[in-house]
Amino acid sequence: GENVEQHPSTLSVQEGDSAVIKCTYSDSASNYFPWYKQELGKRPQLIIDIRSNVGEKKDQRIAVTLNKTAKHFSLHITETQPEDSAVYFCAASWGNFNKFYFGSGTKLNVKP
Amino acid sequence: DTAVSQTPKYLVTQMGNDKSIKCEQNLGHDTMYWYKQDSKKFLKIMFSYNNKELIINETVPNRFSPKSPDKAHLNLHINSLELGDSAVYFCASSQVPAGQGYEQYFGPGTRLTVT
């Protein structure tokens, strides 16, 4: 089955700096890569996703890049704000009943 | 107009008891999921139902039994609760277009504490 690895496990940045979280996957059949944000005590919520026919997608301060050859994808957050502090999860799916293989999560701390 | 709802939000019970968690979605999705999130925050799929049919059944003790009375509801029953069952359980739902992944919408979670 698919194996998704996520790094780093924790990331601390100063407000205004950029943050990058990286994930690798093992199954070349994976074609959908969502990123979820989970605030403390809350549900995971989708913040951005990318499909395998696209190399990059941007939504305001967040962007995701995908390298299918290397089987890795990354989340980029620019101009970080304290409200960006949360746990971020990457996932990979290939349409097998939309089964998500989640990474282990990255706890992002944005210091004011 | 909550999209995915779960009850109860908190559940505190003793070892050996049997308990149920209920989930409902009003998004018209065909597929629902149960996830377990442990203290280290790992999100692990447990089960998935598509139109009331079990389609994903991970390696989960058979003390856990999901039931889907209709495609808008997916319940989780746990028998003989153990300390290791303490976790947050999330329900989720999605559409499943053929051959591709799609966003999953998560419920608010049920924090289960077994004492």
pLDDT tens for each residue of A91-108: 999 867 788 999 999 999
d(CA A69, CA A71): 5
pLDDT at B52: 85
Cβ A31–B55 below 8 Å, yes or no? no
Instruction: List average pLDDT for each run of 10 residues in chain A, which is 112 residues long.
Output: 94 98 95 96 97 93 96 98 98 84 97 95
Q: Are the CB atoms for A73 and A65 separated by under 8 Å? A: yes
pLDDT at B26: 96
d(CA B51, CA A105): 30
pLDDT at B4: 97
Q: Are the CB atoms for A72 and A83 separated by under 8 Å? A: no
Q: In this complex, which of B55, B97, B104 lies closest to A100 when CB atoms are compared?
A: B104
Measured between beta carbons, the chain A residues lying within 8 angstroms of B40 are 104
* Nearest CA distance, A98 vs chain B (angstrom): 5
pLDDT at B2: 74
Cβ-count burial A25-56 (b if 16+ within 10 Å, e if not): bebeebbbbbbbbbeeeebbeebbbbebeeee
What token pair was written down for B99? 């051959």
* Nearest CA distance, B45 vs chain A (angstrom): 8
pLDDT at A99: 87
d(CA A16, CA B30): 41
According to DSSP, the residues that pair with A5 across neighbouring strands are: A24
pLDDT at A4: 96
- DSSP states along B1-17: --SEEEE-SEEEE-TT-
A49 backbone dihedrals φ, ψ, rounded to 5°: -145, 165
pLDDT at B42: 92
pLDDT at B1: 63
d(CA A94, CA A97): 8
Q: Which amino acid is at A7?
A: H
pLDDT at B98: 67
For tokens 């008891």, the residue is B17
User: Over chain A, what HEC string results?
Assistant: CCCEEEECCEEEEECCCCEEEEEEECCCCCCEEEEEEECCCCCCEEEEEEECCCCEEEECCEEEEEECCCCEEEEEECCCCHHHCEEEEEEEECCCCCCCEECCCEEEEEEC
pLDDT tens for each residue of B11-59: 999 999 999 999 999 999 999 999 999 988 899 999 999 888 898 888 8
